[in-house]
A and B are shown apart, each in its own frame.
Chain A
Amino acid sequence: MTDATRLRAEHLTKSFAGRRVLDDVSLSVAKGEVKGIIGPSGAGKSTLIRCLNGLEPLDTGRVWLGADELTARKADIDALRARIGFVFQDFNLFTHLRVADNLMLGLRRVRKMDAVEAERCARAELDRVGLADKWQAWPAELSGGQAQRVSIARALAMAPEVMLFDEPTSALDPQSVGSVLRVMRELVAGGMTMIIVSHEMAFIEAVADDVVFMADGAIVEEGPAGQLFNTPHAAATRAFIDGIAAAHRGEATTP
Chain B
Amino acid sequence: MSQWLAFAGSHLPTLLAGTGYTLTIWAVAMIAGFVAGWVLAVARVYGGSISRRLAVGYIELIRGTPLLVQMFIVYLGLPQIGIVFAPLTAAIVAIGINTAAYQAEYFRAGIRAVRPGQIAAARALGLSRGQAIRHVVLPQGFRIALPQWANEVVIELKYTSVAYAISVPELMGRAKEIGAASFRYFAIFCVVAVIYLVLVTVVTLVLDQVERRYGLRH
Contact = CB atoms under 8 A, between A and B. Distances in A.
Interface of A: 53, 55, 78-79, 81-84, 86, 88, 90, 92-96, 105-106, 109-110, 138-140, 151, 154-155, 158
A212 B139 CA distance: 40
B121 to A, nearest CB: 4
B140 A96 contact: yes
B126 A94 contact: no
Interface in B204-218: 216-218
B131 interface: yes
Given A109-B131, A138-B217, A140-B218, A96 B126 contact: no
A94 B120 CA distance: 11
Nearest to A55: B120
Contacts of A92: 115, 117-118, 120-121
Nearest to A90: B117
17 contacts: A55-B123, A78-B123, A78-B126, A79-B126, A81-B124, A82-B126, A88-B121, A88-B124, A94-B118, A95-B217, A96-B136, A96-B217, A105-B122, A105-B127, A140-B217, A151-B121, A158-B126
Interface size bracket, B side = 20 to 34
B127 A106 contact: yes
Contacts of A155: 124-125
Contact of B126 (A93, A95, A106, A140): A106
Chain A CB count within 10 A is highest, among B120, B123, B125, for B125
Nearest to B136: A94
A95 B140 contact: yes
Chain B CB count within 10 A is highest, among A88, A106, A139, A151, for A106
A81 B135 contact: no
Contacts of A88: 117, 120-121, 124
Chain B CB count within 10 A is highest, among A53, A78, A86, A151, for A78
B126 A81 contact: yes
Nearest to A56: B120
Contacts of A78: 123, 126-128
A74 B124 CA distance: 18
